[in-house]
Homo-oligomer: A and B are copies of this chain.
Amino acid sequence: MNKTVLIKNAHIVTVNRQMEVFKGDILVSGKHISAVSRQIDWQADEVFDAEGYIITPGFVQTHIHLCQVLFRNLADDLSLLEWLKEKIWPFEAAHTEQSIRVSARLGIAELFLSGTTTIMDMGTVRHQEAVFQELAEAGMRAVAGKTMMDFGEYPPGLQETTAASIDTSLRLLEKWHGFDEDRLQYAFAPRFALSCSEDLMRQTAKLAREHNVLFHTHASENKDEAELIRQRFGVSNIRLFETIGAANENLCLAHCVWSDENDRQLLKETDIKVLHCPSANLKLGSGIAPIPDYLKREITVSLGADGAPCNNNLNIFQEMRLAALIQKPLAGARTMPAEQVFRMGTINGARTLGMEDKIGSIEPDKRADLTFIKINQVHAIPFDNIYSKLVYSTQAADVQHVMIDGKWVVRDRILQTINETGLPDAVQKQIQMLNI
């Protein structure tokens, strides 16, 4: 029989169709939410008093690089292509299985402690198995896939053939897609058009369709990159996905900073998902993505912190706040109001990952992925509109407890599935061993 947890007296931000917010109770049964209402009386196995907490759906970040977390604060104040060539590719090439493991664990620790319960991860060329193992053990919900890059000049550790890239991807898909009642899913992850042969992208698009999994990649992040892609393929970076047969609802494009009318029509018509990473777009000098226009067209836009070395956190509160703030000088202060941005960090993320029926809101029959936020922090009181409070004034450290699939992964800011105490030394040791 399923264990039941009755959560009482919380300020519940449901993100349901009516965007209801009320003080009430949540009944969790096994991995699922079985009831949400103003008052629930039930003989549960555990009763949890959530007086003084806001409960939101666990946050969803759709574009993360767990393998880069180890390189946080080591590659700053550089633009995208120099950042990749001078720092990130050599660093990733130096990675060992163990260093990737520590990198992923550090990232998951930060994500949990800031209330994110689901991610889509861009993976790593080698040792992707270690990333899946860390996600599995920590209890995170994730869509992930090995990074594919078979075109161009890279340090030896990142070189791979088209066939090997696809074979490894398929083996990982076979092993991990659907793990733990669908908690982990596979996505094909060609890095970006400049690092992939057209053959690889075409084959991957076909495989993603056949297996009905996501195709996760970067597009139109940086002006120079977009120009190089146009020179090589003769079309825009976004239209390229139509050419290779990938333009459909399973295509997830990180960034889309530089797009024209024609690109935007394709995004809308084919239900391509835009993964918006505001901190990374600013820090790498890429630009400000035309998100208000995408939203007006009803394109699905979700949020991600991208890599720690271009952010330098993995903090959904920072991304929500920034997503709202950066548009206002361009489009007016009423643009991107808090409630809309809050949806980007929750239900839009769920929709992006094809999990709208499973996560992204607090409703019966959805999975019990819940984030508990202290309501009375001095930096976030008073409040009237709860979305203003959550988007503009709440800090990552206000997250006190986190539950995924009905299991506590954070309780009183203590990680339940990761040994936080050992992490700083483990991180230091891996950095030294990589000698970067």
Partner-B contacts on A (CB < 8 A): 70, 72-74, 76-80, 82-83, 106, 109-110, 113-114, 279, 281-288, 308, 311-315, 322, 324-326, 328-329, 331-335, 337-338, 376, 378-385, 388-389, 392-393, 395-397, 420, 423-424, 427-428, 431
On whether the beta carbons of A379 and B325 are closer than 8 Å, the reply is no
On whether the beta carbons of B395 and A396 are closer than 8 Å, the reply is yes
Instruction: Given the known inter-chain contacts A378-B420, A379-B396, A382-B428, please indicate yes or no for A388 contacting B76, CB distance below 8 A.
Output: yes
Q: List 25 A-B contacts (CB under 8 A).
A: A70-B382, A72-B380, A72-B383, A73-B383, A78-B334, A83-B333, A106-B378, A282-B326, A282-B329, A283-B325, A283-B392, A284-B333, A285-B328, A285-B333, A285-B335, A288-B329, A308-B393, A311-B393, A313-B393, A315-B379, A315-B395, A378-B424, A382-B427, A382-B428, A395-B395
On whether the beta carbons of A332 and B379 are closer than 8 Å, the reply is no
On whether the beta carbons of A393 and B328 are closer than 8 Å, the reply is no
Smallest CB-CB separation from A257: which chain B residue? B329
On whether the beta carbons of A73 and B325 are closer than 8 Å, the reply is no
Choose from B283, B284, B324, B388 the contact partner of A73 (Cβ within 8 Å).
B388
CA distance A283 to B341 in the complex (A): 14
Q: Nearest 3 CB-CB pairs, A to B?
A: A397-B397, A285-B333, A73-B383
CA distance A388 to B392 in the complex (A): 23
Chain B min CB distance to A325 (Å): 4
On whether the beta carbons of B395 and A286 are closer than 8 Å, the reply is no
Instruction: Given the known inter-chain contacts A329-B282, A329-B286, please indicate yes or no for A334 contacting B113, CB distance below 8 A.
Output: no
CA distance A80 to B283 in the complex (A): 27
Q: Interface centre among A76, A110, A384, by most B CB within 10 Å?
A: A76
On whether the beta carbons of B282 and A389 are closer than 8 Å, the reply is no
Apart from A80-B333, A381-B427, list 15 A-B contacts with CB within 8 A: A72-B381, A73-B389, A74-B382, A77-B335, A106-B378, A113-B378, A113-B379, A283-B324, A283-B392, A312-B388, A312-B392, A313-B379, A322-B325, A326-B326, A381-B423
Residues of B within 8 A of A76 (CB): 337-338, 385, 388, 392
On whether the beta carbons of A378 and B423 are closer than 8 Å, the reply is yes
Residues of B within 8 A of A381 (CB): 72-73, 106, 423-424, 427
Smallest CB-CB separation from A285: which chain B residue? B333
CA distance A195 to B110 in the complex (A): 46
